[in-house]
Amino acid sequence: MKSRLWLTLVGTVVLVAMTTMSTTGAFWSDEAVVDAGTLPTGSLVLLAGGDPEAYVFDALNAVNLAPGQSVRAPLTISNGGSTDMKYGLASVATTAESAADQELSAALLLTVTVASDCGETPPAGEPLVNQIPLNSAPAFSGRALTPSVSETLCIEIALGPDAPVAAASGTTSISFTFRGDQRL
């Protein structure tokens, strides 16, 4: 009986050992170097009137503008960077301190046309914004420019024909904000 118990015990140990040995765990690893190539970067530079910061648009100036009259001037927008760009007019703001200034700002209308000759009446070209009140935040976007390319916008400010008399003694300054984004 003792030998049978001994034989059963040895048999169980051998069986457990064989079961454990039949399962192997192996971890395989390998390394390789992959050349990812070159990742070039570009620059995005929007130029309004040739200036990358703040351009003073002196050509768009009016004194004694009467209702129904307008003033216009060309503004060149350029891609001074090395990557394709989409640009647009993001916002327009006016300064209006007095009541007359506010009346004048509210009566001004904006027209923007892609035109090389701003002297024609009306300018021949693609209209982007047409007779929109300045205080309604007129804007356009999605104009494509490749590097070193420019286009001329004809910016026209008109005093609406129904401008109130209270606007007659008003003054205002207008700020145009353009935005450029990389074109993918």
Q: How far apart are the first and last CA of the chain?
A: 87
C-beta separation of 150 from 141 below 8 A: no
Whether 93 is in a domain gets the answer yes
d(CA 20, CA 32): 34
Please indicate whether residue 38 or residue 175 has the higher confidence score (pLDDT): 175
Whether 39 is in a domain gets the answer no
Of 181, 91, 93, nearest to 142 (Cα)?
181
What are the tens digits of pLDDT across the range 22-42? 555 667 777 878 877 776 778
- CATH code where residue 98 lies: 2.60.40
Whether 9 is in a domain gets the answer no
Cα–chain center distance at 139: 12
Q: Please give the residue range of the domain that contains residue 142.
A: 46-182
Whether 165 is in a domain gets the answer yes
| pLDDT, mean of residues 41-45 | 87
Report how many domains make up the chain: 1
pLDDT of residue 14: 47
Q: Which residues touch 5 (CB under 8 Å, ≥6 apart)?
A: none
Whether 50 is in a domain gets the answer yes
| pLDDT, mean of residues 80-88 | 94
